[in-house]
């Protein structure tokens, strides 16, 4: 356990067997997801000879993430979360195993799509239960945010690795072999979680007899009635436009400026790699700084996309893609803060809802960016995304609930045992008295024995001033 004010080291996080098990399960099962998507897309391409059908097979894998998050996501709150995680892995072993059996030249494509849908529909349930478990593993806020940031980075890296491993697996051991390996990855995840994850009771008080839809509706009301969490979700959803559009048109952009579409994979890797680096940097800063940085970093993420209007050559484009991706590291504090501000008994369905909306917008952005690139140019599609992103952030800035956000964060940190500097007590008293704006603290020299200030009152830009 790290002491107050110290930077959390990754080796401190991995000292927890539970966290290590969760990381391992996420990486292994996440790689399996990517392998299955690539394998099925390549099988469809081989069977049909149609690039559009192959792309549709890849896009189809995101549809269950929307339905699973909205319909089945509340299961993460109805049952003990270790049971939800284990059940999701077991069901994915079965469905992906069936997909491997039917992945032959004689099987109708509709059967393969149906099995892929069935396998993927359990992924958002697993993800919601997994994300809702992490605050229980690390109740201390600084550790939780550091762990959340590390996991976000690993998630981005596994996307790149999964795409590469998927293609390599199909080339070496066939589509069926790749799918069998995918099923095995879920089995490994099941065993690791079964052995090392603590058994915790269902966070809800009593078993609900209402429908899953009623649970989902209750989660939606709980989320959108809170101005702090509502704006966080909207910013997260809006980030899809900034991050996905450059990836969606990376291949045609490479064709536009370099004459080789295959080089677009470098641009996609630059976006994800930049996001991974940004996530590491941001996750290691003070928690309050992280939240204050969300809006400024959203603006910074848009600016490199505007420069694409001149269709820069590929080396310059790689830098622009990476810079924009790095700024999207603001998703680390956004996701972590959303979880912290949600009551434990609502956490599963709220996170599932946020994830479902995000994945739905990912699919829509892929389609819209492709259409815009076809009717104009890929560089135009990216520039439009940057301009639209700035417009959205301008609206967010107008409605950003500064007082509500800071008061909610103070309460969440206090609830989770995050000690504050004594000099902040006056600020807390003002917030509890119902004042809408927090009065900045005066610079009072503190004794050398006093703990460092936990919640700096300055904004994001203070970190860059002399």
**CATH of 17-197 among 3.40.50.300, 1.20.1250.20, 3.40.630.40, 3.10.129.10:** 1.20.1250.20
Annotate 356-405 with DSSP letters as a single string.
Answer: HHHHHHHHHHHHHHHHHHHHS-HHHHHHHHHHHHHHHHHHHHHH--HHHH
The percentage of the chain sitting over the pLDDT mark of 70, rounded to a whole number, equals: 80
Angle of helix 81-102 relative to helix 109-120, nearest 10 degrees?
170
> Reduced to 3 states, what is the DSSP secondary structure of residue 344?
helix
Rg (alpha carbons) of the chain, rounded to whole number: 23
d(CA 71, CA 69): 6
Q: How far is CA 295 from CA 234, 291, 301, 323, in A?
A: 12, 8, 10, 16
**CATH architecture of the domain with range 218-400:** Up-down Bundle (1.20)
Per-residue model confidence as pLDDT tens digits over 377-429: 889 999 999 999 999 999 988 888 877 777 777 776 666 554 444 333 344 33
Nearest to 357 by CA among 378, 340, 381, 335: 335
In the block, residue with structure tokens 């004459």? 259
User: 87-126 burial string, b = 16+ CB within 10 Å, else e?
Assistant: bbbbbbbebbbbbbebbeeeeeeeebbebbbbbbbbbbbb
Rounded to 5 degrees, what are φ and ψ at 121?
Answer: -70, -20
Residue 452 has what pLDDT?
Answer: 33
Q: What does the block give as tokens for 301?
A: 């993420």
The percentage of the chain sitting over the pLDDT mark of 90, rounded to a whole number, equals: 21
Angle in degrees, CA 66, 30, 146, rounded to 5: 95
Confidence of residue 466 (pLDDT cuts 50, 70, 90): very low
Stronger pLDDT, 162 or 231, i.e. the higher one: 231
In the block, residue with structure tokens 């994850």? 197
Lowest average pLDDT, out of 36-45, 109-118, 133-142, goes to: 36-45
Residue 435 has what pLDDT?
Answer: 38
Is residue 125 a contact partner of residue 81, using CB atoms and an 8 Å limit?
A: no
d(CA 229, CA 235): 10
Is residue 125 a contact partner of residue 352, using CB atoms and an 8 Å limit?
A: yes
Is the pTM higher than 0.75? The answer reads: no
d(CA 219, CA 223): 6
Q: What does the block give as tokens for 421?
A: 């500097």
Residue 121 has what pLDDT?
Answer: 87
Per-residue model confidence as pLDDT tens digits over 145-191: 788 778 877 877 777 677 667 667 777 778 888 889 889 999 999 99
Residue 448 has what pLDDT?
Answer: 35
Confidence of residue 50 (pLDDT cuts 50, 70, 90): low
Angle in degrees, CA 397, 403, 407, rounded to 5: 130
In the predicted structure, residue 201 carries a pLDDT above the cut 70: yes
Residue 158 has what pLDDT?
Answer: 77
In the predicted structure, residue 298 carries a pLDDT above the cut 70: yes
d(CA 210, CA 192): 33
Residue 393 has what pLDDT?
Answer: 92
d(CA 72, CA 208): 15
Confidence of residue 447 (pLDDT cuts 50, 70, 90): very low
Confidence of residue 54 (pLDDT cuts 50, 70, 90): low
How many other C-beta atoms lie within 10 A of the C-beta of residue 324?
A: 31
Mean pLDDT of the chain: 78
d(CA 387, CA 380): 11
In the predicted structure, residue 199 carries a pLDDT above the cut 70: yes
d(CA 177, CA 175): 5
From-to residues of CATH 1.20.1250.20 in the chain? 17-197, 218-400
């Amino acid at each position: 356990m790290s002491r107050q004010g110290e930077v959390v080291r990754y080796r401190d996080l991995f000292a927890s067997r539970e966290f290590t098990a969760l990381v391992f399960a996420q990486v292994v099962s996440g790689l399996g997801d990517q392998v299955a998507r690539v394998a099925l897309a390549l099988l469809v391409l081989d069977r049909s000879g149609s690039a559009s059908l192959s792309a549709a097979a890849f896009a189809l894998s995101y549809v269950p993430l929307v339905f699973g998050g909205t319909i089945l996501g509340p299961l993460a709150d109805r049952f003990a979360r270790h049971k939800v995680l284990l059940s999701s892995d077991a069901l994915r072993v079965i469905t992906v195993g069936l997909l491997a059996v039917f992945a032959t030249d004689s099987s109708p494509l509709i059967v393969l799509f149906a099995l892929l849908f069935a396998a993927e529909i359990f992924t958002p349930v697993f993800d919601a239960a997994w994300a809702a478990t992490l605050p229980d593993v690390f109740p201390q806020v600084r550790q939780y945010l550091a762990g959340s940031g590390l996991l976000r980075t690993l998630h981005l890296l596994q996307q790149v690795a999964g795409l590469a491993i998927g293609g390599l697996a199909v080339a070496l051991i066939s589509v069926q072999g790749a799918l069998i390996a995918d099923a095995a990855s879920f089995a490994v995840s099941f065993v690791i979680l079964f052995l090392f994850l603590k058994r915790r009771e269902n966070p809800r008080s009593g078993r609900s007899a209402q429908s899953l839809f009623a649970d989902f509706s209750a989660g939606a009301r709980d989320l959108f009635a809170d101005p702090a969490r509502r704006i966080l979700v909207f910013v997260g959803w809006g980030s899809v436009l900034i991050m996905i559009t450059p990836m969606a048109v990376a291949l045609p952009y490479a064709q536009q400026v370099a004459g080789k579409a295959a080089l677009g994979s470098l641009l996609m890797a630059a976006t994800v790699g930049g996001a991974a680096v940004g996530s590491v940097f941001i996750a290691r800063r003070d928690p309050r700084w992280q939240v204050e940085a969300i809006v400024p970093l959203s603006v910074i993420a848009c600016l490199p996309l505007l420069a694409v209007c001149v269709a820069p050559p590929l080396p310059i484009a790689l830098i622009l893609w990476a810079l924009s991706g790095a700024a999207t590291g603001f998703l680390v504090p956004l996701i972590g803060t959303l979880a912290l501000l949600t009551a434990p008994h609502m956490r599963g369905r709220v996170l599932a809802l946020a994830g479902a909306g995000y994945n739905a917008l990912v699919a829509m952005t892929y389609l819209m960016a492709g259409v815009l690139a076809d009717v104009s140019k890929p560089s135009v599609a990216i520039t439009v995304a940057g301009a639209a992103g700035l417009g959205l952030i301008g609206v967010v800035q107008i409605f950003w609930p500064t007082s509500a956000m800071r008061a909610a964060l103070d309460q969440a940190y206090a609830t989770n045992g995050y000690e504050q500097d004594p000099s902040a007590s006056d600020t807390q008293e003002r917030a509890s008295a119902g004042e809408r704006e927090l009065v900045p603290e005066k610079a009072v020299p503190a004794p050398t024995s006093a703990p460092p200030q936990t919640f700096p009152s300055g904004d994001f830009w203070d970190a860059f001033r002399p």
